[in-house]
Structure 1
Amino acid sequence: MRIVCNSKNSEAACAIFYRDALSNLKELTVCDYDHYNGYDIALFMTYRNDLEDMKAAKLDYPHLKTGIIDARASWVEEFLPYADFLILDSIEMKDFWASARKPIFFYLEYPNIANAKKKHEAKQPIIIGYHGNKVHLHTMYETVTPALEELAQTYPVELWVMYNIEKLGQWEWNVPKGLKVRHIQWREEHFHQELAHVDIGISPNCVPILNEKKLKKKAESRKLREHFVYSDDDYFLRFKMPSNAGRITIWGKLGIPVVADLTPAACQCIQDGENGLLAYSQEGWYRALETLILRADLRQRYAENMKQTIAHKYDFTIQNQKFLEFLKSEIIT
């Protein structure tokens, strides 16, 4: 079996992560647009120019089995007739694209950094760390941010945040008050150089819902109230379709325990109280972070257990072997 992976957006983070993840497949060639007749499988990233290339390749070489990597938006639907399968990285995405009626392979990509050993001890200050898109720092303003501010009144804590400052500018809106906040430019080498010093990692991923109580009432059906058993205590969550657990795995590889928002992707990766903690409300975040601030032994245990989870489920060699089995059993028949 011969596979080609093509993208004209080779510097995009997602393209880099998938290319690195798939690179140990001996069957794989990267960026060959001239010899589709010599391949069985062609993979394309979810950028419009890449999917236009997929469409052209499928029309010219009908035998070619084509796959879309990381279908992150509904506009991809127009290209589905030219795709034979999808590669997605979260349960949210799998559910969203179930309507495509295409074979789906789950593949969790993340920056390909080396594992690090870390010994957790009682210390001050406790450094809480974040890495990812700046937008998630904004969206945590009703949950993580006030929890951090309250914790800082009792415990010596710092917040280190790594994101693309050069491109997006420095985070200034609703930055937590009462504690030191250190801003770090996102670079892959900074995972080990900077974030390896963090004691607790956080992965906020929910989207705030304004006027939640009012929206709950508006979403209720008066006619069906007796059948649905509505309650003011019901949870009302919003999260992005292309959510994934990639940011969680980085903390595991660095040997750092993680607290994550209560999203499906996080729940798929974290077993609460075994290899990390899950939270949603301000109080939930306060409780989870306080637990890890006070318990170095739990920080050590959760970090080591998460590292094992990654090794057994999300290691690229393991995922690549499963990917080949998927192609042989469901795509090339």
Structure 2
Amino acid sequence: MSKKILFLPKYPRMGASSRLRTYQFLPLWEKAGFEVKVSPFFNEFYLKEKYKGQGVTKSNVLASYLNRFWILLGFWKYDLIWVEKEMFPFFPAWAEWVLSKLGKGYVVDYDDAVFHRYDMARRPVVRKWLGKKIDGVMRHANIVWAGNSYLGNWATKAGAKRVMILPTVIDPERYSIKEYASSNQVVVGWIGSPTTLKYLNEIMPVLEKLSKELGVVIQVVGGNSDWKFDGSLKLIQWTEEGEVSAIQGMDIGVMPLPDDPWEKGKCAYKLIQYMACGLPVVASPVGMNADVVFHGENGFLAKSQEEWYGYLKMLILDRELRREMGGKGFELVKEHYTIERNFEVMVRELRMLNY
């Protein structure tokens, strides 16, 4: 009889973190003989409102809480409960505590420093009553899957029973190295969402300068259509089907980040995507970026505006350097950052716990 897993992601497939940490693995679970059910907390309507930057419909949010409560009433039907981040946002970890005492418990997955949403919240009441909430969620879990070492170290300090580092990875069937056609116009690209476009503003002066000096095109995938940029700009709407070809249309991939607590929890997925298409990268040395980028080999780590300008200009002017670094990044991803590799780790760990 096949074992049943209840996946409780935060978002439907449209949400990047849930798509990459839960949904892209579902075919592998089913192929391995597991029966899976997926119940996201929020729905697509909520995500669309969030991406538009408008207020969310309160009745829709309330329905999300009620639906999650209803789903959890049937926990006994499953051999494993797989939680993304937390059961109920902005509620104490009561549900996690109850589940840890009943049935077979749960495992929890993190690809963001969600604990800082509570312990660094603006409202004192949130910091007081929920500041240690995620510590409790981690402590009650049978396994904590952590997207990088910053998240993993936090889980260990919180008293988690078992912590495994699982980076956010790509499906190698979808990605291939780009063709390096001769072109005088170099494209520097970024991929993300409207909520993360703010990070690109960190290096906007550098990008504008390079665009004017060297005729570079800046390609933004998944940003806001009204993003202001004084230079040659190409905006592409993100789609799951078109993201790979959009990245392959770039020559250099960038991932700027401020050195702040929340950003230290980022899992460098943009860089992994760029490398999976054979692009050299330039990134801020924040969080997992410093683990993925081997400075001077598959890209550069830039600490200042001057370094951003210098490293990007070097790559823009040297096509062979781009090809060489891109090839090394491609090999790194094939070896370490694929769904097959992560799946092997997950199955092995679950078997050790008799799931």
TM-score range for the pair, normalised by the shorter chain length: 0.7 to 0.9
SS in 2 for 1:159: strand
Letter paired with 1:261: S
Q: For 2:245 and 2:200, how far apart are their aligned partners in 1?
A: 26
Q: For 2:16 and 2:88, how far apart are their aligned partners in 1?
A: 16
Report the CA distance between 1:98 and its aligned residue. 2.6
The match for 1:195 is: 247
Q: For 1:151 and 1:72, how far apart are their aligned partners in 2?
A: 33
Letter paired with 1:199: D
Q: For 2:212 and 2:284, how far apart are their aligned partners in 1?
A: 23
Structure 1 residues 81 and 201: CA distance shift in structure 2, 3 A? closer
Report the CA distance between 1:21 and its aligned residue. 4.0
Q: For 1:308 and 1:52, how far apart are their aligned partners in 2?
A: 44
Please report the TM-score for the alignment, with normalisation by the length of structure 2.
0.73
Q: 155, 174, 180: which is aligned to 1:114?
A: 174
Q: For 1:85 and 1:151, how far apart are their aligned partners in 2?
A: 46
Question: Do the aligned partners of 1:206 and 1:239 also contact (CA within 8 Å) in 2?
Answer: no
Q: For 1:243 and 1:8, how far apart are their aligned partners in 2?
A: 18
Question: Do the aligned partners of 1:122 and 1:295 also contact (CA within 8 Å) in 2?
Answer: no
Q: 78, 82, 96: which is aligned to 2:154?
A: 96
CA RMSD of aligned residues (A): 2.8
Q: 171, 182, 185: which is aligned to 2:227?
A: 171
Report the CA distance between 1:109 and its aligned residue. 2.1
Letter paired with 2:81: A
Confirm whether residue 256 of structure 1 aligns to residue 279 of structure 2: yes
Instruction: Compare relative contact order (CA 8 Å, sep 6+) and give the higher one, 1 or 2.
Output: 1
Letter paired with 1:171: W
SS in 2 for 1:117: coil
The match for 2:315 is: 292
The match for 2:101 is: 59
Question: Do the aligned partners of 1:5 and 1:28 also contact (CA within 8 Å) in 2?
Answer: no
The match for 2:306 is: 283
The match for 1:156 is: 215
Q: Percent identity?
A: 17
Question: Do the aligned partners of 1:170 and 1:183 also contact (CA within 8 Å) in 2?
Answer: no
The match for 1:216 is: none
Q: For 1:238 and 1:100, how far apart are their aligned partners in 2?
A: 17
SS in 2 for 1:31: strand
Question: Do the aligned partners of 1:128 and 1:157 also contact (CA within 8 Å) in 2?
Answer: yes
Report the CA distance between 1:54 and its aligned residue. 4.5
Q: For 1:8 and 1:91, how far apart are their aligned partners in 2?
A: 21
SS in 1 for 2:99: helix
Letter paired with 1:108: P
Report the CA distance between 1:52 and its aligned residue. 6.4
Question: Do the aligned partners of 1:3 and 1:43 also contact (CA within 8 Å) in 2?
Answer: no
Letter paired with 1:152: S
Q: For 2:298 and 2:245, how far apart are their aligned partners in 1?
A: 24
Aligned residue-pair number: 292
The match for 2:47 is: none
Q: For 2:269 and 2:210, how far apart are their aligned partners in 1?
A: 27
Question: Do the aligned partners of 1:201 and 1:259 also contact (CA within 8 Å) in 2?
Answer: yes
The match for 1:42 is: 81
Report the CA distance between 1:67 and its aligned residue. 1.1
Structure 1 residues 148 and 93: CA distance shift in structure 2, 3 A? same
Q: For 1:3 and 1:106, how far apart are their aligned partners in 2?
A: 24
Report the CA distance between 1:104 and its aligned residue. 1.2
The match for 2:108 is: 68
Unaligned runs of 5+ in 1: 208-236
Report the CA distance between 1:8 and its aligned residue. 5.9
Report the CA distance between 1:200 and its aligned residue. 0.8
Question: Do the aligned partners of 1:36 and 1:57 also contact (CA within 8 Å) in 2?
Answer: no
The match for 2:140 is: 82
SS in 1 for 2:263: coil
The match for 1:234 is: none
Report the CA distance between 1:306 and its aligned residue. 1.1
The match for 2:193 is: 133
